Amino acid sequence: MKVRVDEGACVASGMCAYLAPAVFDQREDDGVVVVLHEVPDEGQYEAVQDAVRNCPARVISVEGADDPTEG
């Protein structure tokens, strides 16, 4: 799994950092998403998929994994 984000479209809700804090954080100055681990450990996959599903701006995507919006 490889995590990608569109920082320019991020609305700084913080859901990603809340749901997957080992993978995402937020910039101090504006709250925009920061990817801490572009290729997270397998143990983080479920949390990343939760972050993808719950991102209000839909700015997070993953490559190399099943579609996290299914299921």
Q: pLDDT tens per residue, the chain (71 residues)? A: 999 999 999 999 999 999 999 999 999 999 999 999 999 999 999 999 999 999 999 999 999 865 544 44
What is the reported pLDDT for 64? 87
What is the reported pLDDT for 7? 96
CA 2 to CA 23: how far, in whole Å?
11
What is the reported pLDDT for 66? 58
**Biggest alpha carbon–alpha carbon distance for the chain:** 35
CA 33 to CA 12: how far, in whole Å?
7
* Sign of CA pseudo-dihedral 57, 52, 19, 8: negative
- The one-letter code for the residue type at 26 is Q
According to DSSP, the β-strands at 33-35 and 24-26 are antiparallel
